[in-house]
Amino acid sequence: MDETNIVEFAGREVSLDPLTELLRTGAQALIQAAVQTELAELMDRFAHLKTPDGRAGVVRNGSHPAREIQTGVGPVTVEIPKIRSKTGKPVSFRSALVPPYVRKTKTLQAAIPWLYLKGISTGEMGTALKGLLGANATGFSAKTVARLKAEWAAEYRAWRTADLSQDEWVYIWADGIHSGLRGEDHKLCALVVIGVNTRGQKQFLAIEDGTRESTQSWREVLIGLRERGLNTPKLAIGDGALGFWAALEETYPGTPQQRCWVHKTGNVLNCFPKSTQPKAKTMLHDIWRAETRKSAEQAFDLFVKTFEDKYPKATASLQKDRTELLAFYDFPAIFATIRHRTKRSKGCLARDGMLHMIFKLGQCAEQNWRKLRGFNHLADVIQGVNFKDGIKQTQTETAAA
């Protein structure tokens, strides 16, 4: 019996959505116009080439056979022009928008690792994508998907050994993505490190597997980053997992620590009944939203005084990381914590497959990340300039303090 967790819907063979058809037609026209613009620019670049009798040396020469590209609005047919050189000097046209052999858009390729993490197997991928895009979605056989997985594995192996010494890394964020996979004795998770360089660009630096979030697993990740050329960061941000912080002290001793307020807020609120959580959440927000460290300290003390008698576990959880929770006041005011969405990932993946899929999704996410606001202040952080309540201090102010 063929078991599948894909539900097929009847009536997808014929598109009943005129808006989708309109979008598809518009997409085709836009792509074709963009390709013609690329061709015109190339022809202008070679307009000076002439034949001995004075005619154009580079001319149009028909088009390649039309091909379909799978997009988020279904298949779109495109024709790529051909050119011919009459001068003996080889000239060819390759569209940057539609490179040779491309059969699917990058956003659609991102759907494949996402579906894997949701539990769709190789053999079911084509059916799943047809359910999303309609019956005309083709080219996603098990063999094709297996080839893509092999390419992603090769990309991941090259990426995880890339040199990091070409950039100065100011901040790093660390977190663990827990999966439903098990090793021989322990649950596995992906250990993720994101860095910010002096230009304010955010990039994944490491995606490795580990046993829970143990010190040894994080130690291996950080040693690997150090060997690849990662400098000592000016600030490390993460949740309260003790394994990372112990490994950081060993690998990059003295690195300032900032606890993640998103994780801490969730942990503290778990100690309250639901009826009290809204009030507690507002008071927690009053701490990290305070304009100055002094105001934050006052809000911190108020929270403790308000709840320590009735909810001692909540206040103890907050107090034990007090210094680390307020470390960001010694850095530029534009500093903000990236909120990681590390939902539990379950599915049919093997251990390496999980890392490859997370790697590909991470690459897609990086393309949409914006630079850190006010990144021009990061050079000051590298040079050791002091900040108070997020504001750059002059030499006079620093001496007075």
The answer for residues whose C-beta is within 8 angstroms of residue 209's C-beta and 6 or more apart is 188, 189, 190, 191, 351, 354, 355
Report percent pLDDT > 70 for the chain.
64
Mean pLDDT, residues 184-211 taken together: 81
Tell if the pTM clears 0.75, that is, is over it: no
Cβ atoms of 378 and 196 closer than 8 Å = yes
Torsion of CA 294, 295, 296, 300, to 10 degrees: 100
With H, G, I as helix, E, B as strand and everything else as coil, classify residue 164.
coil
Residue 28, pLDDT > 50, answer: yes
pLDDT for res 356: 75
Secondary structure of 76-142 as H, E, C letters: EEECCEEEEECCCCCCCCCCCCCCCCCCECHHHHHHHHHHHHCCCCHHHHHHHHHHHHCCCCCCCCH
pLDDT for res 213: 72
Q: Give the CA radius of gyration of the chain.
A: 27
Torsion of CA 333, 369, 231, 166, to 10 degrees: -130
Residue range 241-285, pLDDT digits in tens? 778 999 999 999 989 999 989 889 999 999 999 999 999 999 999
Higher per-residue pLDDT: 252 or 119:
252
pLDDT category, 355, cuts 50, 70, 90? confident
CA atoms within 13 A of residue 380's CA, in its CB half-sphere: 20
pLDDT category, 12, cuts 50, 70, 90? very low
Task: For residues 189 and 179, give the distance between their C-alpha atoms in angstroms, rounded to a whole number.
Answer: 5
pLDDT for res 162: 94
pLDDT category, 288, cuts 50, 70, 90? very high
Question: Got the DSSP string for 339-394?
Answer: ------B-SS--HHHHHHHHHHHHHHHHTTPPPPTTGGGHHHHHTT--EETTEEPP
Torsion of CA 30, 31, 36, 40, to 10 degrees: 90
pLDDT for res 294: 93
Residue 348, pLDDT > 60, answer: no
Mean pLDDT, residues 67-83 taken together: 74
